[in-house]
Structure 1
C-alpha cells in the first residue's frame, strides 16, 4: 500500500482527469444544477461522498464479486449509498433536498461514479480507491463551485443565494450593485454551456503554458555543445 502515490492520485482526479473539464462526464447535473453556488456545491459534496464510499466498498469486495455480474453489483452498491444519502438529506436538509430534486437520486446513474468504480476501485485496494473517488468528487466540486458562482453573479448580481437552507440566518451577498438588473442568459442553459466552455478553455490554456515552460526549461538545461 505504501507504493501508492496518494498525491499523484489526488492530483490526477482533481485536475489532470477532472470530470467536468477533461473527461466531460456528468454534463447533465453539471449544467442543470450550476445555476447557483449553493446548489452546485451541495450536489458536488453529495456526489463526492458517494464516490469515496462506493469506491472503498467496491474495492473491499472486488475479490468476492464474480466478474460476469460486476456491473449490476456495482450499481446496487451505489444505489444503496445514494438511498441512504437521499433519506438523510430529506430528513435534515429538506429545503435543499426539494431544490435539488431528482438530481440527488440520479447520482446512481451518474457516469462519473460508475466509471471510477469500474476503472479504478475494481482493480486497487480500498484506501487508494477512496482517495481516487474523493479526488474526482473534489474536482467536480471545483467545477460546480466556480461555474455556479460565475452564473449566479452575472445572472443575479449576488452569490450564496439559498445558503439559509443550510445555515439558518445566513443570506446572499450582493457582489454587484443592488440595482443590477440581472442577465437572464447566464442562468439559462446556453449560459451554462458558454461558461463551461470558458472554464475548459482556461484549463487547456494553463496546461499549454505549463508545457511550453517545461520545454523551455528542458532546453535551457541541455548541455552546450562546442565545435572543434
Structure 2
C-alpha cells in the first residue's frame, strides 16, 4: 500500500510529467487552449500509457536487451494508431480539433521513459498503477492549463463539450466572465508558455510554504548546558 501511494504521489505531484519533468510540452502547449481539448488529449495519452505499460510489463522477458527500445516504440506506435483511428470514427470533431497532435503522442517522451524506466522492470500490477498515475498527472495539467486559458481568453468553461461527450453535452458551456471575448493572448501560443510557467511557479510556491511550515513546527534545539555528575 505504501508503494502504491508513493507511485501515485510521484505521478501526480513529486514527478509530474508536465510540471516537473517538463515532458510532452509540444501537445501540452499547442492543444490546451480549452478544457475539453486538454481533457481529450489527456485521456488519449492516459490510454496509451496504460496499454503500452501493460504490454511492456507482460512481455518484458520475451525480447533481447538490444531489441527492447524498437519493441517499445512499436507497441506505442500501434496503440496510438488504434486510438487515433478510433477517435476519427467516433469522436470526429474532437479528432479534427486536436489534429496532428494525437498521432504525435508517439513522440511523447513520457511514454517511452515510463516503459524503459518502470514497466520493463516491474510486474503488471505496479506498472498499471504507475501508468495511471503518470497519465492522470499529465492529463490534469492539460485540463487545468486549458481551463485557465479558456476562462481568460474566452470567458467560458467547457465550451465544445459535445465533441467529447456527445450532443447531450451541448449545453454544458459555463459563462464564467461577463464578456464573450477575453484576452486574446491567453489562447495564443505565448499564453500557453505563460500559463505553464504560472503553474510551475504555483507548485514551487506550495512546496516552499510546506517546507517553511515544517521547519517552524520542529522543536527548537535545547541550549541548556549538560550538567556534570
TM class, shorter-length: over 0.9
| Range 127-136 or range 4-13, more displaced | 4-13
Q: What are the ranges of 5 or more consecutive residues in structure 1 without an aligned counterpart?
A: none
Q: What are the ranges of 5 or more consecutive residues in structure 2 without an aligned counterpart?
A: none
Distance 2:167 2:214 in 1: 49
Query: Deviation of residue 226 (structure 1)?
Result: 3.3
Distance 2:71 2:207 in 1: 38
Distance 2:62 2:161 in 1: 43
Deviating above 6 A after TM superposition, structure 1's stretches of 4 or more consecutive aligned residues are: none
Match for residue 213 of structure 2? 213
Distance 2:35 2:112 in 1: 25
- TM-score of the superposition, structure 1-length normalised? 0.93
- TM-score of the superposition, structure 2-length normalised? 0.93
Distance 1:38 1:201 in 2: 24
Distance 1:24 1:137 in 2: 14
Match for residue 191 of structure 2? 191
Query: Deviation of residue 213 (structure 1)?
Result: 2.0
Q: Where does 1:10-21 land on structure 2 (aligned, <5 Å)?
A: 10-21=8-19
Q: State yes or no: 1:159 paired with 2:160.
A: no
SS at match of 2:167: coil
Q: State yes or no: 1:175 paired with 2:176.
A: yes
Match for residue 116 of structure 1? 114
**Per-residue CA shift, 1:126-147, capped at 9, x if unaligned?**
1111111111111011111110
Distance 1:76 1:180 in 2: 45
Query: Deviation of residue 162 (structure 1)?
Result: 1.1
Distance 1:138 1:181 in 2: 31
SS at match of 2:59: helix
1:84 is aligned, of 70, 82, 85, to 82
Match for residue 136 of structure 1? 134
Query: Deviation of residue 11 (structure 1)?
Result: 0.8
1:42 is aligned, of 40, 43, 47, to 40
1:24 is aligned, of 16, 22, 25, to 22
1:66 is aligned, of 64, 67, 72, to 64
